[in-house]
Structure 1
Amino acid sequence: MYLALKVSDLDNVATVFAEGIQAGAEIEVRDKKGESVVIRALDPIPYGHKVAVREIETGEQIMKYGEEIGVASRAIAAGNHVHVHNLDSMRGRGDL
């Protein structure tokens, strides 16, 4: 089983700390309280990237470390890889 960490209760993504996660793999998502839940990867997820820990609707804020890091550019299912293909960054844009 692979490991991902969720730092804040506000987070809807967790950071993966494992190499070689393929679609179908089980990921244990641990939080800061030591509690964990197991989700199934729907996509390959590289080390250090994000995995959705719950359903995220189009336009919903993506929360990591308790901070908004962007918005979902399309619907994201729990277990999906979250990256530039489904997240619009809000940092440093200057146009919003």
Structure 2
Amino acid sequence: MTHDPRLILLDARDNVFVARTRLPAGEAIETGTGAATLDRDVPLAHKVARRAIAPGEKILKYGAPIGVATVAIAAGSHVHVQNMRSDYTPTYHLEDERKAGATQ
């Protein structure tokens, strides 16, 4: 079974898809393992859960961890700041560290 053509699977290890287009809430999608319903509007290029993701589980995109689920995420849910925490260091912290190193 294949997934919905409106979604991109970047790596077979990923637990999220990327939306190729804006998708409306309530829309049915195929995840490749079964049907799911979008829980809210999903903007272009945003993530959609490929399967259920448990709280504390890593969010995988490009086959790499990009964050962690802060709550249970159902298949078909929009994965964004409301249900995940980023693993990336904010760039302003990197700039602060660079400036601190220059003054020492």
2:24 and 2:5 map into 1 onto residues whose CA distance is 10
1:28 and 1:46 map into 2 onto residues whose CA distance is 18
Q: Give the aligned CA root-mean-square deviation in angstroms.
A: 2.0
Q: Quick check: 1:4 aligned with 2:4?
A: no
Which amino acid counterpart does residue 24 of structure 2 have in structure 1?
A: Q
Unaligned runs of 5+ in 2: 94-104
TM-score normalised by L of structure 2: 0.73
Equivalent of 1:25, from 15, 27, 35? 27
1:42-68 superposed Cα distances (whole Å, 9 cap, x missing partner): 221111100001000000000001010
Q: Which has the higher helix share?
A: 2
**Residue 8 of structure 1: CA displacement?**
1.1
Larger Rg: 2
1:43 and 1:78 map into 2 onto residues whose CA distance is 12
- Runs (4 or more) in structure 1 with deviation over 2 Å come to 26-29, 36-40
Unaligned runs of 5+ in 1: 30-35
Q: Does the 8 A contact of 1:24 with 1:41 survive in 2? A: yes
**Residue 90 of structure 1: CA displacement?**
0.8
**Residue 26 of structure 1: CA displacement?**
2.7
Q: What is the percentage of aligned positions where both structures have the same residue?
A: 40
Q: Quick check: 1:90 aligned with 2:90?
A: no
Equivalent of 1:69, from 55, 66, 71? 66
**Residue 9 of structure 1: CA displacement?**
1.4
